[in-house]
Structure 1
Amino acid sequence: MAVGDSVPRIEAAAKVTGRARFAGDFTLPGMRIAKYLRSSIAHGRVTSIDVSKAKVLPGVDGVFTFADVPKIDFATAGHAYSLDPRARDVEDRMLLTDHIRYHGDEIAIVVAANDLIARQALELIEVEYQELPPILTAEQAYQIDAEDLHPGKGTTSVNECGAHEYVLGNVEQSLADADHLLNGRYTTQMVQHCHMETHVGYAYMDDLDYIVVVSSTQIPHICRRIVAQSLDMPLHQIRVIKPAIGGGFGNKQDVVLEPMLAFLTKKLGGLPVRIEMTREENMVATRVRHPFDVKIKAGVNNDGTLKGLSLDVLSNTGAYASHGHSICKAAGSKLAPLYPRTALRYNAKTFYSTLPAGGAMRGYGSPQIIFAVDNMMEQAAAKIGMDPVDFRIKNAAVAGDINPLSGKAIDSCGLIECLQKGRDILNWDQRRKELQQQTGRVRRGVGVACFAYGSGTYPAGVEIAGARMVLNQDGSANLHVGAVEIGQGSDTVFAQMAAERLGISVDMIRVVSTQDTDSTPFDPGAFASRQTYVASPAVAGAAEKLRKKILDHAALMLEKKAETLDIHQKDIIERTSGEKLLSLQDLSLDAYYHKERGGQITAEMSTKMTANAYAYGATFTEIEVDLDMCRIEIKKIWNIHDAGKIINPLLARGQVEGGVGMGIAGALAEEMLINAKNGKILNGNLLDYKMPTCLDLPDIDCDFVETDESTAPFGNKSLGEPPLLSVAPAIRNALLHATSVQVDSLPMSPKALFIHFRDAGLLG
């Protein structure tokens, strides 16, 4: 057996010893360095730009402005292509611009012999602006005389990137008939991914018509398409290579540097050109999490039945669409499978502003929506005097429920079991009683929250994956996958899957982790917690094909029937007796080198997933609140997950611990601060942006409720993004339990808690 074992990560030693090679580790003879000139205002237009002094600086190869780039609008979001034009991402970006839409917008770029000369050249460029008022809020974006940031893009409304509504059941009647009608408004903040490796890449030309881009991208095949579009070049003239990646969390699901790199090497006759963003650039000029403003109406009966939910959501996508309204749309789709027996209305709008562009970030809008909806669940339970866990159990999805949004039955669902297990682990009932009516300056509380999340993008997007396997001459096997390893452990899991179906040990599988669009099977990339679910049929299918070919060749060599043979570890064995008949190495050598029979034994599979299994889970936490210090300390936190069958328990725990840590950071500390007068980000660096380190985080515990998802060959479901989804509302609900103070905005930082505690009369 390989699936279900805690196999060590296959790339772990290379990463911890520094041997893994990332995009920034490579160089080429004659490599040039490029650096952007970024706007010093948040909104306006360039009225003049003089680059003459920069061009004549010794060591400068070229200076390019918005006047020099192709006038081609393209989308940067890393989604698979859609045959339906209406479903494609908004094409609202060019390589450089003279219409400034955020503080740091790209207006020119310098290419020079080294970083120092490039920075000196930037200082020689003279720019004059026509400055316009910043647009930071929905009220400013939608006002009648507002400047239209992207005329002709998005909807017909000024500065509206996208909008949609769905209604499931008779929501108005359900709210009217409910014993209680509740209202709430919840807001979330802008945060940054803060992955260890900043965006970095380089490009060069192999010949006059062929561009190679090496990049820290989550989406090499999608990146290739976007680069080709941005330069109006045939797809086959672009090659994208992805080496090891130092994290992304969705920020590298956008094409940020690659089109410009391709443009520069082409303009400079094929010279290799590198761009490596500084941390400060990465903070403001890549992508951020969308701030949400959510208004909710909820109808609940005295027996605990959730009758109806009505949500009005505003999402701020910033200066450019990037993933745009798809974030808000996807987030809303997770509510129907969470509470499928509840009438539901979801009305959402996404607007442009003059802030950094919002893009994909771990959870893809769900952390914002789960924060709002779960807070409302806490309010509803309190209104009818029902235990919060009991209230969620009463309304939670169960296997066999119909997801009203898709019309399909929910195949596997362990949400109620997750809630029950968490209740027992935390000794919930006893702690709720013990912590009632506290009066001290330090108080404790317990909280719970739950979630549902998909395992891919279907049916919104195509879910295609590819795998190729090759039997090596020593009896081992290479596995090529299009799915992208970005630190989440997918390569290890795929090795386990392949070993399981092939019948050999995991150490006999070599996963070729460097994706290359010229040779790697097609896969859209690492996003949507999709890879182990969507790619598993391709990996399993390729392994099964390879196994059959190996056994067919063994039968030829041994003059036996293939069905009487099996593969075990490094040998061909007799199926019933287990007798070793032939080593895989001898079989492979025969296939490669026998003068008459055989040939290289390979197998390839490309599959499309036409299902989307929902993972479920809950967060339970106990916190301590210091009223005088306006500080929350997490004493215990547990995440309980239904992720289907767990392929690798050790890696699963690692995913959960990392996700919970990110959830705690967003709940208590992280926030990009904005100057309301000029739109500038005030803390665009890791000194002023308060991100907790490992020393600031508590011990994190997790457990699993294993279900068997029939739509996946190994019964597994998503686990990459779910761990952070319900962390913030669980902490918030514990704060409510401890202090009776209702906090409806993130983050719950000491600064924010001071205002809430002061207004509640808790600060002496």
Structure 2
Amino acid sequence: MSYKIIGQSVERWDAIAKVQGKADYTADLPKKNVLYGKILRATIAHGLVKKLDVSEALKVEGVIKVLTPDDLPDLKFPTAGHPYTLDPKLADIADRNILTKRVRLYGDEIAAVIAENELAAEKALEKIKVEYEEFPFYLSPEEALAEGAVEIHDGSKNLIASTKAVVGDLKKGLEEADHIIEGEYKTQIVQHCHMENQIAYAYKGSDQRWVCVSSTQIPHICRRILGEAFGMPWGKFRVVKPFIGGGFGNKQDVTIEPLAVAMSMAVGGEPVMVELQREESIAWTRVRHAISYKVKLGVKKDGTITALEMDAVSNNGAYASHGHSIAGKGAGILQSLYKMPNMEYNSKTVYTNTASAGAMRGYGVPQVIFAMESIIEKAAKELGIDPVELRLKNLVGPNTENPVSHVMFFSNKLKECVEEGMKNFSWDERKKQADSQKTGDFRRGVGMAVFAYATGVYPKSLEIGGCRLTLNQDGTVKLMVGATEIGQGSDTVFKQMVAETTGIPYDHIYTDMNTDTDYSPFDTGAYASRQSYVSGMAVRKAAIELKEKILDAVKKFDDIDQLHTDIVNGNIVYKHSGEVIQSVGDLALKSYYDLANGECITAEVSNNFHSNSNAMGATFADVEVDIKTGKVKILNILNVHDSGHILNPLLASGQVEGGMGMAVAYALAEELRYDEKTGAPLNNNLLDYKMPTSMDLPDMETLFVEEDDPMGPYGNKALGEPPICSPAAAIRNAVLDAIGIEVDELPIKPQKLMEILKNNGIV
């Protein structure tokens, strides 16, 4: 398919406002009479609040009110940003209260202060006296599942869910194998560290409904969860999302919004703002699941995979959030990647007394890819087969039905991604250089890994996108979507889609910063790399409808049949010659103001999309290991992606580079740690958390292997999350190549690597 503006690197519509500091984020919007809310957090990791004495806090000048759990409805609600389900068996777990007496992690929300200013609120927090009854706490799933462990949630036995996915006959597959390769792999807790912390303010609107302005990825879902949290009709709430400073999945949970609304309710509807500090955002919002894997891989002598057995145990933290969906997702991902006729994937998701794990860019795929690509590397070594050739031999091809999800995936250029990646990375030359540098203080290695990533959540969950287009009087178009722009550039791409389909110039398509549940079409939000795919389908359908209505109006006003007309660059033209009949602006004036037939031309679409597509790709890494310090230096790293047709190459490259940067940090540095004596977080600040800056990251290269996906609205499929999926595994495999020793736990920090080197007699 040929395109005009789709595929071009047009400038983001919001770029200038953001660069100049003129973009209005949540904190910029309240102008006057705003009260401030601060949260009192528990100083034990597990137990009960026996007594709260707030009398001294109320005496602090400027304090308006102190809220305790007794002041709020005793309703449990879910916080995950999943679409609502009509099947109660599939509903998210409702295990959260706005404030709680039952402490489940160090830092749990047990009271809140409302004050005229932040300083007064903070002083009041120090005056609140708390008495606790302490229970044993558990930082790992193994501790939480041990016999006699105290239940973190009553009736749970500390197990959120345990599932099994079976393909073929595992026993038969293992019997057919010439070699059985085994390994154990662990990933760590990490945090999103988006630039804008969680922030929301709430007030009572003039229509007596509750308004919550929030940096959320899921405004329509947030409204529903507010209704559940207060036991009120959902329509009693309005949620507004302005410009947002990143989310990466952390804002796909409803965290502070119910408390902000509760605070406003407590002061008669006056506006109250709740803004988390960085320490709070890191430790007490959402994190990436730490997952441990036990893997058994059956292979023939020639490298053909006959069987895979994988057991995953996921640390979900103190509350369910997204629950078991992340650990359970691994089975479908693996079957999208490799031909494995016999597989058994067992997964458990466990409550512990750590931060709640929820959605984070990649949604469980970086974890399972780390385990899978590590065992593939081990198999290649034991078989004496080139690891790239072993992968190529077993990759799933196009036009394949996934035996777990039963979705038919049509396009798949993963083989080409590997081949083009090897060529662009100069794999053979780098491999030779690395092989010559296996002694001395600096040892070099190369590694690679592959991944698959589904676009959206179908068939597991609902996939609805909404779009409304209005032709303005001057021939420009107002674009409104319920999909959420959170910095990834989706609104810019949607504008390109409208321009591509209608023939109206990109600069004549207008959108704005807000998603507002009162007037934005329904869409479930920004997650699952779904927006340009699922919401894009709604935009395309609306654009087709708008164009048809414009050309119908030409028939009505100018008696020229639609068969003979088209729209090109904002002009209505004859199809056969390209001769301009009139501008879209001239027609719009007629349509609005003609006395006899005037009407506003609009198109609105809600699209329920029943399909999915797999994005694929590979990472190639060249590293140098300093065996005297244990430091790993990345000399070169390349991500190669099959994301279908690339809609905007500049934005796409930015997505890949950002994802790779997060993945490098995941591989080498980041980890949220806890005090084993108290359960308190140890490094919930940007000094100790060790998130790399631009100075710490290597040069990162990007390559796209393009092929139109038949299911994507413009041949496109997922790109937002795929870049983070395989770099950690590729870096790990490069370190293995450099030192000849397996590193089976992330992150690969210098201290950890030094211990491995010492234990193996290298230093």
TM-score by length of 2: 0.98
When residues 408 and 27 of structure 1 are mapped into structure 2, their CA distance, relative to the original with a 3 A threshold, is: closer
Contact 1:662–1:724, Cα closer than 8 Å, also in 2: yes
**Aligned position for 2:319:** 320
Contact 1:66–1:97, Cα closer than 8 Å, also in 2: yes
Contact 2:621–2:730, Cα closer than 8 Å, also in 1: yes
**Aligned position for 2:478:** 478
Letter in 1 for 2:237: I
Contact 1:316–1:358, Cα closer than 8 Å, also in 2: yes
- Rounded to whole Å, the distance in 2 between the matches of 1:188 and 1:548 is 52
**Aligned position for 1:575:** 575
Instruction: Tell which deviates more after alignment, 536-545 or 704-713.
Output: 704-713
1:206-232 per-residue CA deviation (whole Å, 9 max, x = no partner) reads 147410000000000000000011011
Shift of 1:18: 0.5
**Aligned position for 1:44:** 47
1:98-141 per-residue CA deviation (whole Å, 9 max, x = no partner) reads 11111100000000000011011111111011122221112211
Indicate the SS of the match to 2:348. Answer: strand
- Rounded to whole Å, the distance in 1 between the matches of 2:56 and 2:736 is 61
Contact 1:284–1:356, Cα closer than 8 Å, also in 2: yes
- Rounded to whole Å, the distance in 1 between the matches of 2:301 and 2:72 is 63
Asked if residue 685 in structure 1 is aligned to residue 671 in structure 2, the reply is no
Asked if residue 15 in structure 1 is aligned to residue 26 in structure 2, the reply is no
Instruction: Tell which deviates more after alignment, 91-100 or 671-680.
Output: 671-680
Asked if residue 105 in structure 1 is aligned to residue 108 in structure 2, the reply is yes
- Rounded to whole Å, the distance in 2 between the matches of 1:77 and 1:176 is 42
Shift of 1:329: 1.3
Contact 1:288–1:361, Cα closer than 8 Å, also in 2: yes
**Aligned position for 1:436:** 435
Instruction: Tell which deviates more after alignment, 93-102 or 420-429.
Output: 420-429
- Rounded to whole Å, the distance in 2 between the matches of 1:162 and 1:13 is 47
- Rounded to whole Å, the distance in 1 between the matches of 2:76 and 2:13 is 41
Letter in 1 for 2:328: K
Instruction: Tell which deviates more after alignment, 573-582 or 655-664.
Output: 573-582
Contact 1:204–1:211, Cα closer than 8 Å, also in 2: yes
**Aligned position for 1:612:** 612
**Aligned position for 1:730:** 730
Q: Equivalent residues in 2 for 1:601-640 (5 A)?
A: 601-640=601-640
Shift of 1:426: 1.9
Instruction: Tell which deviates more after alignment, 398-407 or 475-484.
Output: 398-407
Q: Equivalent residues in 2 for 1:5-404 (5 A)?
A: 5-153=8-156, 158-207=157-206, 209-404=208-403
Shift of 1:376: 0.3
Contact 1:2–1:499, Cα closer than 8 Å, also in 2: yes
Indicate the SS of the match to 1:719. Answer: coil
1:703-737 per-residue CA deviation (whole Å, 9 max, x = no partner) reads 11112211122111100000011001100101111
When residues 332 and 677 of structure 1 are mapped into structure 2, their CA distance, relative to the original with a 3 A threshold, is: farther
Provide the aligned length of Structure 1 versus Structure 2.
759
- Rounded to whole Å, the distance in 1 between the matches of 2:13 and 2:254 is 28
Contact 2:308–2:340, Cα closer than 8 Å, also in 1: no
Q: 5+ unaligned residues in a row in structure 2: which ranges?
A: none
- Rounded to whole Å, the distance in 2 between the matches of 1:457 and 1:188 is 24
Contact 1:28–1:272, Cα closer than 8 Å, also in 2: no
**Aligned position for 2:642:** 642
- Rounded to whole Å, the distance in 1 between the matches of 2:481 and 2:135 is 48
Asked if residue 530 in structure 1 is aligned to residue 530 in structure 2, the reply is yes
Contact 1:448–1:729, Cα closer than 8 Å, also in 2: yes
TM-score by length of 1: 0.98
Contact 1:340–1:403, Cα closer than 8 Å, also in 2: no
1:607-628 per-residue CA deviation (whole Å, 9 max, x = no partner) reads 0111110010000011111111
- Rounded to whole Å, the distance in 2 between the matches of 1:497 and 1:207 is 37
Letter in 1 for 2:262: F
- Rounded to whole Å, the distance in 2 between the matches of 1:603 and 1:654 is 32
- Rounded to whole Å, the distance in 2 between the matches of 1:434 and 1:451 is 26
Letter in 2 for 1:53: E
When residues 208 and 130 of structure 1 are mapped into structure 2, their CA distance, relative to the original with a 3 A threshold, is: farther
1:67-106 per-residue CA deviation (whole Å, 9 max, x = no partner) reads 1111100000000001111111110000111111111000
Letter in 1 for 2:88: P
Indicate the SS of the match to 1:67. Answer: helix
Q: Equivalent residues in 2 for 1:376-525 (5 A)?
A: 376-436=375-435, 438-525=438-525
Letter in 2 for 1:469: L
Letter in 1 for 2:6: V
- Rounded to whole Å, the distance in 2 between the matches of 1:143 and 1:387 is 42
Contact 1:398–1:410, Cα closer than 8 Å, also in 2: no
Shift of 1:741: 1.4
Indicate the SS of the match to 2:98. Answer: coil
Contact 2:45–2:353, Cα closer than 8 Å, also in 1: yes
Q: Percent identity?
A: 48
Instruction: Tell which deviates more after alignment, 418-427 or 223-232.
Output: 418-427
- Rounded to whole Å, the distance in 2 between the matches of 1:591 and 1:208 is 34
Contact 2:332–2:402, Cα closer than 8 Å, also in 1: no
Instruction: Tell which deviates more after alignment, 187-196 or 207-216.
Output: 207-216
**Aligned position for 1:564:** 564
Q: 5+ unaligned residues in a row in structure 1: which ranges?
A: none
**Aligned position for 1:741:** 741
- Rounded to whole Å, the distance in 1 between the matches of 2:332 and 2:59 is 55
- Rounded to whole Å, the distance in 2 between the matches of 1:609 and 1:298 is 36
Contact 2:407–2:612, Cα closer than 8 Å, also in 1: no
Indicate the SS of the match to 1:337. Answer: helix
- Rounded to whole Å, the distance in 1 between the matches of 2:207 and 2:259 is 17
Indicate the SS of the match to 1:694. Answer: coil
Contact 2:83–2:221, Cα closer than 8 Å, also in 1: yes
- Rounded to whole Å, the distance in 2 between the matches of 1:173 and 1:676 is 43
Contact 1:207–1:270, Cα closer than 8 Å, also in 2: no
1:526-585 per-residue CA deviation (whole Å, 9 max, x = no partner) reads 001111111121100101111011111122222211221111112111111111111111
**TM-align CA RMSD:** 1.1
- Rounded to whole Å, the distance in 2 between the matches of 1:467 and 1:340 is 39
Letter in 2 for 1:353: T
- Rounded to whole Å, the distance in 1 between the matches of 2:553 and 2:52 is 69
- Rounded to whole Å, the distance in 2 between the matches of 1:512 and 1:550 is 23
- Rounded to whole Å, the distance in 1 between the matches of 2:340 and 2:323 is 29
1:253-277 per-residue CA deviation (whole Å, 9 max, x = no partner) reads 0001111111121221111000000
Shift of 1:372: 0.5
- Rounded to whole Å, the distance in 1 between the matches of 2:235 and 2:254 is 18
Indicate the SS of the match to 2:613. Answer: coil
Instruction: Tell which deviates more after alignment, 199-208 or 444-453.
Output: 199-208
Contact 1:33–1:273, Cα closer than 8 Å, also in 2: yes
Shift of 1:396: 0.5
- Rounded to whole Å, the distance in 1 between the matches of 2:330 and 2:521 is 30
Letter in 2 for 1:747: P
Indicate the SS of the match to 1:657. Answer: helix
Letter in 1 for 2:211: V
1:34-53 per-residue CA deviation (whole Å, 9 max, x = no partner) reads 00000111111111110112
- Rounded to whole Å, the distance in 2 between the matches of 1:337 and 1:58 is 61
Contact 2:659–2:724, Cα closer than 8 Å, also in 1: yes
Letter in 2 for 1:31: V
- Rounded to whole Å, the distance in 1 between the matches of 2:105 and 2:224 is 26
1:3-28 per-residue CA deviation (whole Å, 9 max, x = no partner) reads 11111111111111111110011114
